[in-house]
Structures are given as C-alpha cells and as structure tokens.
C-alpha cells in the first residue's frame, strides 16, 4: 500500500524536443531562453529536454557559436543537444567542429518524429 502511495506521489516526467532549423544568434537566444524558461516553470518536476539541430540550425552547435557558453551551461544542467548527421554530411561539417557534449543522430527530422511518437511535446525553434 505504501509503495502505491509513493508511486502516485511521484511527479510526471515531462519531455520536450525542440527542432532548430534556422540560423542566427537571435534564433539561438530565443531557443535557449525557451529552454531555460521551461526548466524554471516546471521545477521541481522532472523534465527532459532535447534540442535537435539540423539544416542551417546546425550552426548553433559549433564550438565557435555565439551561444556556446549557454549551451555548455545547459548541457551541464542535463539538457541534451543533437546534431543531424545528414546536415553535417551535406555541409561537410565534422564532429570536431561541435562541442563535445553534442550527440550526432542519423537524421534530425527523424529524431524529432521519433520523440513525438514517444509522446514528447514538440516546439519549433526558430522563426
């Protein structure tokens, strides 16, 4: 009985995937502000957030990105960042150009679809 009560008392874990396809510092700052605001608003409830970058949005994950320090901080806080291998190949980008915490997925679009099919909420990151 106590186990059932404790299980019911556990807050639901939230899942959010954000797809970023547009370039530009303004876009990146909006996306990262959304991530920070979502984390703050849902606290102390558990939340998992993955930012998936493909097409021109891939630039956000470069080591030289103007938002690199924010990415590092959010990564250390548990936010996941993924780069599209298809976009990397098309643009001749190597994994060495990306921060070490960035995970490469075969297809950014497919990653977003898989997350949505698994029940994740989707936000479009960009304009």
pLDDT of residue 125: 84
Does residue 12 register a pLDDT over 70? Answer: yes
pLDDT of residue 127: 60
What is the domain partition of the chain in residue ranges?
Answer: 12-125
Does residue 7 register a pLDDT over 70? Answer: no
Quick: pLDDT tens for 65-95. Answer: 999 999 999 999 999 999 999 999 999 999 9
Does residue 126 register a pLDDT over 80? Answer: no
Beta bridge mates, 16: 49, 121
Outline where DSSP puts E strands in 1-127.
14-20, 47-53, 80-84, 103-105, 121-125
φ, ψ at 15 (rounded to 5°): -135, 125
User: Which tokens in the block code for residue 54?
Assistant: 């493909």
User: Which tokens in the block code for residue 55?
Assistant: 């097409």
CB 85 within 8 A of CB 94: no
Q: How far apart are CA 18 and CA 31, in angstroms?
A: 8
Write the CATH number of the domain with boundaries 12-125: 3.40.1260.10
């Amino acid at each position: 009985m106590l186990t059932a009560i404790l299980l019911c008392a556990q807050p639901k874990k939230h899942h959010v995937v954000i797809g970023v396809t547009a370039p530009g510092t303004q876009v990146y700052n909006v996306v990262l502000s959304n991530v920070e605001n979502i984390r703050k608003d849902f606290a102390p409830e558990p939340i998992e957030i993955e930012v998936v970058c493909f097409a021109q949005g891939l630039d956000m994950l470069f080591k030289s990105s103007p938002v690199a320090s924010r990415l590092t901080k959010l990564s250390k806080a548990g936010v996941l960042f993924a780069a599209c291998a298809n976009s990397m190949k098309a643009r001749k980008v190597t994994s060495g150009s990306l921060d070490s915490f960035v995970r490469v997925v075969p297809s950014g679009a497919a990653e977003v679809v898989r997350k949505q099919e698994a029940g994740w909420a989707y936000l479009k990151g960009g304009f």
